[in-house]
Amino acid sequence: MTVVAIHLGEDRNPVLWEVESVRAVAGKGLEGDRHYRERAKPGQALTLVEEENVRDVGLPAGGTRRQLTTRGVRLNDLVGKRFRVGEVECFGVELCEPCLHLQQMTRPGIIEELVHRAGINADILTDGTISVGDVVEPLD
């Protein structure tokens, strides 16, 4: 149950880049990422996806445009629950369903392939650093 990749991006730029670690700020998001806001709306601070699902649909790492890619954890089970990523406490808000934008950036049919498997949206509850290799563990 670990983080295997971290991808960040800028507003209006389709290119994401991979980093080894990133600073998470409670209520705001990941520093340097397109979703970072002074007051992030619930569920918009952090996105996570399972590596197994990304691989099953033939996308490359970062291909789903989620910030954290994990291995060995059923993310859907974290919706409505508190969990920790490394030293950062989070709360799973909702499923992060695939959208038309993702399909336009990848290929036709990806929406159907990833329904209920495209990851989750979460809130960041405590400040800290998230790094590749960090453990993802439920707290509730």
CATH number of the domain that 85 lies in? 2.40.33.20
- Do 81 and 92 touch, CB atoms closer than 8 A? yes
Q: Other C-beta atoms within 10 Å of 23: how many?
A: 15
Structural domain of 63: 2-138
pLDDT (average), residues 39-65: 90
pLDDT at 68: 97
Q: Is the dihedral of CA 41, 51, 4, 2 positive or negative?
A: positive
Q: How many domains does the chain have?
A: 1
Q: What is the pLDDT of residues 81-123, one digit of tens each?
A: 999 999 999 999 999 988 887 878 878 888 888 889 999 999 9
Instruction: Measure the CA angle with vertex 7, ends 107 and 113; round to 5°.
Output: 30
pTM: 0.93
